[in-house]
C-alpha cells in the first residue's frame, strides 16, 4: 500500500467520495492499493455482521467478578492461609516465637533467687514469739548494721 492511501486510509474506507482527490485517483490507477482497500472493506463488513445485540444473562458480570476474586493474586501469604500444612507451620512458628520470648524475658529480668530473699536473724537470746520489733532483716553479703548506722549518723548534707 502506498503512502497516499496510508495517510488517508480511514477516509478511504469510510467513503471514497469524501476523501482526498489524490487518494481517489490513486485507487483508480493502482491495482495493488485498490485490491487491499477492497479486502479491508470486506473484512469491516464481515465484522459488522458478527455484531449482535444480545445482552448477557442476569448476573453475568457478578459471576465474572467472583471468578476474578477467587483466583486472586498469588502471594506467599496464600500458602499459609489456604493450605492446612501452611496453617500448621504458621501456628508452630508463633508458638516457638512465644516460647522464645518467654525464655528471654524470664532469663534476663529475674534476679538470683538466693540474693533476693532476705533472711531473718534474731538478736542474741531472743525467741521469735517475743518482741517482733527487734528482728533485723539482712541479706547475705549485706553491710553490717552498725556500719550503716554510723554512716547515717555522720552523713552531712553537702
Nearest one of 53, 62, 14 to 37, comparing CA atoms: 14
Q: Classify strands 136-138 and 119-121 as parallel, antiparallel or unpaired.
A: antiparallel
Contact partners, residue 33, CB within 8 Å, separation at least 6 = 1, 2, 5, 26, 27
Task: Determine the pLDDT at residue 92.
Answer: 94
Task: Determine the pLDDT at residue 107.
Answer: 86
Contact partners, residue 89, CB within 8 Å, separation at least 6 = 80
Task: Determine the pLDDT at residue 134.
Answer: 46
Nearest one of 64, 8, 66, 62 to 33, comparing CA atoms: 8
Domain map (residue ranges) of the chain:
3-50, 61-109
Tens-binned pLDDT, residue by residue, of the chain (158 aa): 788 778 877 887 887 567 778 888 888 888 888 888 889 889 888 888 888 777 888 899 999 999 888 876 677 777 677 788 888 988 999 999 999 999 998 887 545 555 545 555 555 555 555 444 444 555 555 567 777 777 777 776 64
Task: Determine the pLDDT at residue 133.
Answer: 46
Are the C-beta atoms of 11 and 20 separated by less than 8 Å?
yes
Grid look-up 552531712 returns: 156
Amino acid at each position: 500500500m502506498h503512502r497516499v492511501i496510508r495517510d488517508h486510509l480511514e477516509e478511504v474506507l469510510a467513503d471514497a467520495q469524501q476523501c482526498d482527490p489524490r487518494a481517489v485517483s490513486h485507487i483508480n490507477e493502482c491495482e495493488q492499493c485498490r485490491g487491499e482497500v477492497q479486502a479491508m472493506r470486506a473484512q469491516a463488513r464481515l465484522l459488522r455482521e458478527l455484531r449482535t445485540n444480545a445482552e448477557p444473562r442476569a448476573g453475568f458480570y457478578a459471576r465474572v467478578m467472583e471468578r476474578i476474586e477467587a483466583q486472586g493474586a498469588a502471594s506467599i501469604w496464600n500458602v499459609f492461609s489456604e493450605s492446612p500444612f501452611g496453617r500448621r507451620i504458621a501456628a508452630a512458628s508463633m508458638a516457638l516465637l512465644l516460647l522464645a520470648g518467654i525464655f528471654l524475658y524470664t532469663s534476663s529480668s529475674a534476679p538470683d533467687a538466693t540474693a533476693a530473699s532476705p533472711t531473718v536473724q534474731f538478736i542474741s537470746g531472743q525467741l521469735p514469739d517475743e518482741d517482733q520489733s527487734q528482728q533485723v532483716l539482712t541479706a547475705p553479703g549485706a553491710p553490717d548494721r552498725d556500719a550503716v548506722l554510723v554512716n547515717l549518723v555522720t552523713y552531712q548534707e553537702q
